[in-house]
Amino acid sequence: MTLATEVQARYPATRLVQLTNAGEENATVVDATILGLAATDASAEFQEIAGVAYDGSEAIHVRAAVKGVIALLYKWAEAPGTTADKLYEEFQQACESVARVTGRNRITPTTTSVLTPSDERQDQETVRPDTDRPNYDDLIPDPPKP
């Protein structure tokens, strides 16, 4: 589903009519253009804050981005310093949570080692690390001292 559709699934239509038609008292339908613009802006801000692109198949992304759409709609509909600021802060915190889990362009481990990992099985024999030799089989560590 698109982000706008996710928002419509989670919020009552009457509230979305009020938010997308700010200043119009007689509005009866959700303004799809305004909702689409808010969804586009929220997904862009999501990417800026979280460090990853919005993916509608990831529940954690959807949760944060839906908060962003609502926060932006409130910002566009109300004066600054009201509920809009609080909602936008919640959106930013949700994006930061996503960033801690998946984002921030994390460093991928690499190596310059000339060693290569061996296959787990060679013929029918299980390959073991070099230090896992049979001559350690009879080694029994001392029991813990009381």
In this structure, how many other beta carbons lie within 10 angstroms of the beta carbon of residue 59?
A: 9
Structural domain contains residue 63: yes
For tokens 């997308």, the residue is 20
**Domain with 64 in it:** 3-102
Structural domain contains residue 75: yes
Please give the backbone phi and psi of residue 17, each rounded to the nearest 5 degrees, phi first.
Answer: -60, -45
Structural domains of the chain, count: 1
pLDDT at 83: 86
pTM score, whole prediction: 0.69
Structural domain contains residue 110: no
Q: How far apart are CA 120 and CA 126, in angstroms?
A: 6
Structural domain contains residue 61: yes
Query: Token pair for residue 89?
Result: 């802060």
> pLDDT digits over 49-78, tens only?
988 889 999 999 999 999 999 999 999 887
> pLDDT digits over 86-126, tens only?
999 999 999 998 888 876 666 777 888 877 666 666 677 76
**H/E run at residue 102:** helix 83-102
CB–CB of 35/7 below 8 Å?
yes
**H/E run at residue 122:** strand 121-122
Q: How far apart are CA 23 and CA 79, in angstroms?
A: 12
Structural domain contains residue 68: yes
